[in-house]
Structure 1
Amino acid sequence: MDTVMTTTTSASTSAETEVLIAGAGPTGLVLAADLARRGVRHRVVERAGRGFPGSRGTGIQPRTLEVLDDLGLGPAFLTEAGPCPPVQTWEGTERIRTWDLVERGEPTPAVPYPETLMLPQWRTVELLHARLEELGGRVEFETELTGFTQDEDGVTATLRHADGSTDTVRARYLVGTDGSRSTVRMTLGTSFTRTPVDARPVLLADFILEGIDRGHWHMWPTAPGGMIALRPLEGVETFQLIAGFDDTAHEPDPERDATPEALTRLLAERTGLTGLRVGEVRWSSAFRANAAMAERFRTGRVLLAGDAAHIHAPAGGQGLNTGVQDAYNLGWKLGAVLRLGAPDAVLDSYDTERVPVAAGVLSLSTRQNAADRAAGSGLSPRGSETLQLGISYRESPLTQERRQYVPEDGLRAGDRAPDAPCHDRAVDPVRLFDVFRGPHFTLLDLTEQGAGLPSAEWLRTCRVGGPEADLLDTGGHAKSAYGPGLFVIRPDGYVGLATDDPADVREYLTALTGRTLAGA
């Protein structure tokens, strides 16, 4: 066990919890909500005040929508988010063409959310925070983690509040979700080498704009001085500005360059349009695209997630989504260790599973950025790989494929568990995602044999078809998606075990959780 020592100020109070989460962005909030519904005691601290102000990460990928559905937020996001608007390419004052940046798609039985939705990050944070409060959790704003030590039994962290007071928290685990400049990661000394992806600086701003339609994402890819884009934001009257600068030596200053006057001049110079009227600027920022990944996501009792563990070029809308899925992967594992007595190796699998995923997403974002630079349209079309539905854990130590026959193109253990519309015995519609929703494991029985199966309070068994069916596969969609067999669906919606033998289920779940199961 590695031990990290830091120098901290004296503390005025002390407290205990099971999981301390540093950072209340989307990653930290998803993790907190997941722990709350598992009854895991936790604290969430955030150095900033309540209310992240900016649009920043706006793309919500289909796999993330499935995560939000599981957390009880599906209807809220489907109501408030919107489809990616068609891109309107301009050359000066002339409209050139209209095209789709993302792949359009219709829902299928296996994939209910087929395409990327858009929502400003500040609203995503608000919805997640509201859900956390519904689950009994809260965020301690203006509370900064300033240092910690860890030992074999836990972590002792020092927190500083807005009034300058401090307190000490003892936690079984600490999770750093505190952004790309993570205090947790830097305190650990974990390597995090940044690689420039694009030397050109970018200015972002959310502001009131009149004089252009809200039905398109407007782009001027060959504007003098650099590409500029204007996108209407969902649910509010503001637009998001993305302004690149071909001069790599230029240093955009949001306080100087994102005033209404400065934006008016920039838009006039880059677009040539004379009817644009700039109003209130509500948020602005500047950045250069970089890529980096921590050499490991777990060091003893301390774990990293989201931007604290990896940062990506914004192209392809992967960063926020990958962080949310880090949290979703980690939450059930912390719950299994803390509530079920699962072995420590379950937490090791967080690093084993998520490091390759983050590396793959980082590579994808970097390639997408290069494709954008080469495209004459300013941005290049996003392919299906950006939807994150194809992420798999087939090589994970938590994955076991034990069926005697699996079609070459068939579902395998480690893959995302597909949805399927079914009916219950009253012939009311029930989706498999309805069965999976919640903090439990699911045993999906598609053998149609009605054989005795193991049971536990944290395991939901669902027989599809057969003499003791819980659900009727009236359209054949479940059998088409899975094939015959027994499938243990992890709480994060991946197939952990696929087998033909009920004895394998008992063996797998006993080894995974450390719990003895009842039943046959």
Structure 2
Amino acid sequence: MESKFSTDVLIVGAGATGLTLAIELARRGVAFRLIERLDGPFRGSRGKGIQPRSQEVFEDLGILDRVVAAGGLYPPPREYRDDGGYEESQIQEPHDPTPGEPYRLPLLVPQFLTEAAMRERLAELGGSPELGRELKSFEQDREGVSARIAGPTGEETVRARYLVGADGGRSLVRHALAIGFPGKTLGARAVVADVVLEGLSRDAWHRFNKESMVKHLSLCPLAGTDLFQLQAPIPPEGDVDLSAEGLTAMVAGRTGRGDIVIRSVSWASAYTMNARLADRYRDGRVLLAGDAAHVHPPTGGQGLNTSVQDAYNLGWKLAAVLAGAPETLLATYEEERRPIAAETLGLTTRLLDAAKRGVMRRGREVQQLDLGYPESSLAMEKPKRSGGIHAGDRAPDAPVRGAAGMPTRLFKLFQGPHWTLLGYGLDRLSAVEPRPGLHIHAVGPRGDIVEDGGHLRAAYGVSLGDWVLVRPDGYIGAIVSSDHAPALEAYLASVGLPSRG
């Protein structure tokens, strides 16, 4: 019998959020459509900071190396004084990689290059965004969603099991659901523009008048391009000339220099900063992700990263439910991700307040390595752990070796759409039966994985006989001792991985 559904998931919005979700669904074999109302890819650099946790996500998605190749590290901020001299500093303390945290510095990658790498990966997996297609309206019932879409050849109705609104801060999906979007306008308006200029070197992030929110100006060279990103606060009202001539005049007025000339503008936007969080992330079979669910000021480079990680959390859960996992699994998406967005809103607002005072220093709090879901209903510990790493925490990396002698890493064992079960100090795998979607490894002298330098044991704080279950998104789902190993079966069934026995 022919299915009454034309696809499983309709994703509205093909920015970084929608592309991440599409990749997650594509590599799990889930049917989806990814629509975008714009006729072409987004052309701006806006979300240019890729934090260490997102780099780990990108490694799992198979795009990290190409994203790094497209961009680079942040140049040092160069603060100019009124006398024309300057001082250079580091926006963050330099940190070397560790066995548990292989990426410790943010990357500078223009958003259009990050999204290009995502589209390339999606194409490898057999998918692509449908450009010039706009969601006009939708209705849902207990079984699915019927969406009306306008495109180059007219209108069509798409029937999907789920719809995900990844359609930005002005989300039509959120508005149609009448989901509240409380928060505040932060009393700051700014210009961001991608420009070709002459008169400045590309070895620094040039910053002028850091202590003045009236005259402040920054010009950051965008790695992988010949562009600079211009950022400048502007008055709360009135038009701004975003032409090359207009921005050159702004630069001259704020720097007192006539040698900095903007030759062309490839993209520009004047925007008002907001901090807002959706009242809920789900209404029946419709979900929100990314800017549709939360908007942040740009300080700290958190927006795109938080949005990508929304989709990374949602993707495997949607796929699992579509494959037969309990519907309750989808409730954990909002349970886990909404508190993260609330915390991020607080952080970015504090950083904005500091920036208004001329303070741009960043610490570990922006790297997102310490974010996790320890209070989640998906976090299980038996017995309860008193210290060290906990269920719900990010699963650390560690160097290990295969039994055949070749070096590898835990992240390589985790990479892919599967769950991973590590049995520490075990030589046979009797606690859990093998099943699709679960990779089981015994770690020890007689296991298939051998410790290399003791980093795994130190990072996870495990004892002989302990089991660590790692989720597809790289967080620890469960830590159980051998005495409680049967509890793993019930847990795996609850997330759609029942025993075949």
TM-score between the two structures when normalised by the length of structure 2: 0.95
Find the aligned partners of 1:411 and 1:335 in 2 and give their Cα distance. 28
Alignment partner of 1:418 is 2:407? no
The equivalent position to 1:347 in structure 2, one of 315, 323, 330, is: 330
- Following TM superposition, by how much is the alpha carbon of 1:270 offset from its aligned partner in structure 2, in angstroms? 0.8
Is the 8 Å Cα contact of residues 146 and 157 (structure 2) preserved in structure 1?
Answer: yes
Q: What's the offset of the Cα at 1:514?
A: 5.8
2:378 aligned to 390, 398, 416, which one?
A: 398
Q: Provide the rounded CA distance (Å) in 2 between the counterparts of 1:144 and 1:211.
A: 42
Q: What do the CA deviations read for 1:324-382 (whole angstroms, capped 9, x no partner)? A: 0000000000111112x11111001101111111101111111111111122xxx4211
Residue 477 (structure 2) pairs with residue 496 (structure 1): yes
Does residue 311 in structure 1 map to residue 289 in structure 2?
no
SS where residue 313 of structure 2 aligns? helix
Secondary structure of residue in 2 paired with 1:78 = helix
Counterpart pick for 1:462 among 441, 447, 464: 441
Amino acid at match of 1:428: M
Is the 1:396–1:414 Cα contact (8 Å) retained in structure 2? yes
Measure how far apart 1:277 and its partner are. 2.3
Give the Cα separation in 2 of the matches to 1:308 and 1:41: 23
Amino acid at match of 1:420: A
Instruction: Label 1:488 to 1:213 Cα distance change in 2 as closer, same or farther (>3 A).
Output: same
Letter in 2 for 1:107: P
Q: CA contact under 8 A between 2:436 and 2:497: conserved in structure 1?
A: no
Where does 1:205-220 land on structure 2 (aligned, <5 Å)?
Answer: 205-220=193-208
Whole-angstrom CA distance in 2 between matches of 1:263 and 1:472 = 59
> Alpha-carbon deviations, 1:264-287, whole Å to 9, x = none?
211111111232122111110011
Q: Shift of the alpha carbon at 1:407?
A: 4.9
For the pair 1:83 / 2:73, whether they are aligned, the reply is yes
Provide closer, same or farther for how the CA distance between residues 93 and 428 of structure 1 changes in structure 2, counting only shifts above 3 A: farther
State the partner residue of 2:27: 37
Counterparts of 1:364-375 in structure 2, within 5 Å, are: 364-375=347-358
CA distance in 2, matches of 1:313, 1:352: 23
CA displacement at 1:218 relative to structure 2: 0.6
Q: Which residue of 1 aligns with 2:97?
A: 107
Are residue 275 (structure 1) and residue 235 (structure 2) matched? no
1:423: how far off? 1.0
Q: What is the CA deviation profile of residues 416-470 of structure 1, one whole-angstrom value per residue up to 9, with x for unaligned ones?
A: 0000011112221111000000000110111335341321121001111142x11
2:84 corresponds, among 72, 87, 94, to 94
- Residue in 2 aligned with 1:436? 414
* Residue of structure 1 equivalent to 2:127: 137
1:79, 1:426 → 2: CA distance?
32
Structure 2 stretches of 5 or more lacking a match?
none
Q: 1:511 to 1:222 in 2, by over 3 A?
A: closer
User: Match for 1:303: what amino acid?
Assistant: L
Q: 1:292 matched to which residue of 2?
A: 276
Alignment partner, residue 264 of structure 1: 248
TM-aligned CA distance change 1:325 to 1:224, over 3 Å:
closer
Letter in 2 for 1:463: A
Looking at structure 2, the residues matched to 74 and 425 of structure 1 have their Cα atoms a distance apart, in angstroms, of 27
**Mapped contact 1:201–1:251 kept (Cα < 8 A):** no
Partner amino acid, structure 2, of 1:192: F
- What percent identity do the matched residue pairs reach? 43
Give the Cα–Cα distance (whole angstroms) in 2 for the partners of residues 43 and 236 of structure 1: 31
Distance 1:222 1:474, change over 3 A: closer
Contact persistence 1:292–1:312 (CA under 8 A): yes
Q: 1:260 to 1:511 in 2, by over 3 A?
A: closer
Distance change (3 Å), C-alpha of 1:93 and 1:145:
farther
Deviation at 1:81, TM superposition (A): 2.3
- In structure 2, the residue matched to 1:180 is 169
Deviation digits for residues 89-134 of structure 1, max 9, x if unmatched? 0124613311111232111100011111110001111111111111
Distance in structure 2 (CA, Å) of the matches to 1:92 and 1:147: 54
The worse-fitting range, judged by mean Cα deviation, of 83-92 and 172-181 is 83-92
The number of equivalent residue pairs is 491
CA distance in 1, matches of 2:477, 2:211: 49
Matching of residue 25 in structure 1 with residue 15 in structure 2: yes
Distance 1:201 1:358 in 2: 22
| Range with bigger deviation, 100-109 or 428-437 | 100-109
Is contact 2:213-2:233 (8 Å) kept? no
Describe the SS at the equivalent of 1:268.
helix
More displaced stretch, 152-161 vs 509-518:
509-518
Distance 1:203 1:47 in 2: 24
Q: Once superposed, what is the RMSD of the aligned Cα atoms?
A: 1.5
Specify the code of the residue in structure 2 equivalent to 1:82.
G
State yes or no: 1:329 paired with 2:310: no
Per the alignment, residue 168 of structure 1 pairs with 157
Matched, 1:189 2:178: yes
- Residue in 2 that maps onto 1:385: 365
Residues 127-162 of structure 1: per-residue CA shift (max 9 Å, x gap): 111111110011110000110000000100000013
**3-state SS of paired residue (1:112):** coil
SS of match in other structure, 1:170: strand
SS of residue in 2 equivalent to 1:411: coil
1:252-274 per-residue CA deviation (whole Å, 9 max, x = no partner) reads 43xxx121111221111111123
Contact 1:343 1:514 in 2 (8 A): no
Aligned to 2:468: 487
- Letter matched to residue 419 of structure 2: F
Q: Give the partner amino acid of 1:251.
A: G
1:116 aligned to which of 90, 97, 106: 106
The gaps in structure 1 that reach 5 residues or longer are 1-13
Partner of 1:302: 286
Write the distance in 1 (CA, Å) between the matches of 2:413 and 2:275: 38
Could you tell me which residue of structure 2 aligns to residue 450 of structure 1?
Answer: 428
Aligned partner of residue 174 in structure 1, secondary structure: strand
Distance 1:224 1:77, change over 3 A: closer
